[in-house]
Structure 1
Amino acid sequence: MTALVFAGVVFVIITGLAAAAKLAPWLSLCLAVISMLFQLVAAARGIMADGQELAGHVQTILRVVHWIIDFFHNLYARHREDVEMILSEVTRIIDFFLNLCAAWYHEEAEQYTLAQVRAATNNFADLIGQGVSGRVYKGTLDDGRKVAVKRLEDGLRRAEDTFGVELALLQPLSHEHVVRLVGSCAEGEHRILVYEHVDKGTLRGNLDNNNAAAPPSWITRVQVLLGAARAIEYLHGEDVIHGNVTSANILLDRSLTPRVAGFGASVRQELGVPSEAVDIVQTEGYGDPEYDTTRRLKPATDVYSLGVVMLEVLTGQPPVRANNATLVSWALPSIQARKLKDVLDWRPTSNPTPGQRKALKMVAKTAASCLCRDGDSRRSISRVVKELEEALKLICNG
Structure 2
Amino acid sequence: MSRYRIAVIPGDGIGVEVTAPTVDLLEHLADRAGFEIAFDHFDWSCARYQETGAMMPPDGLDQIRDHDAILLGAVGWPGVPDHVSLWGLLIPIRRRFQQYVNLRPISVMPGLPGPLRDPGEVDFVVVRENVEGEYSEIGGRFSTGTAQEMAVQEAVFTRAGVTRIVDYAFDLATTRRGHVTSATKSNGIVHTMPFWDEIVRERAERQPSVSWRQEHIDALAAKLVLDPSSFDVIVGSNLFGDILSDLAAAVAGSIGIAPSANLDPERDFPSMFEPVHGSAPDIAGKGIANPIGALWSASMMLDHLGEKRSGDALLAAIRATLADGDVRTPDLGGTATTRELAAAVQEAISL
- Tell me which protein shows more strand as a share of its residues: 2
- Tell me which protein shows more helix as a share of its residues: 1
- Note whether the superposition's TM-score is higher than 0.5: no
* TM-score in terms of structure 2 length: 0.27
* TM-score in terms of structure 1 length: 0.25
Tell me which structure has the larger Cα radius of gyration. Answer: 1
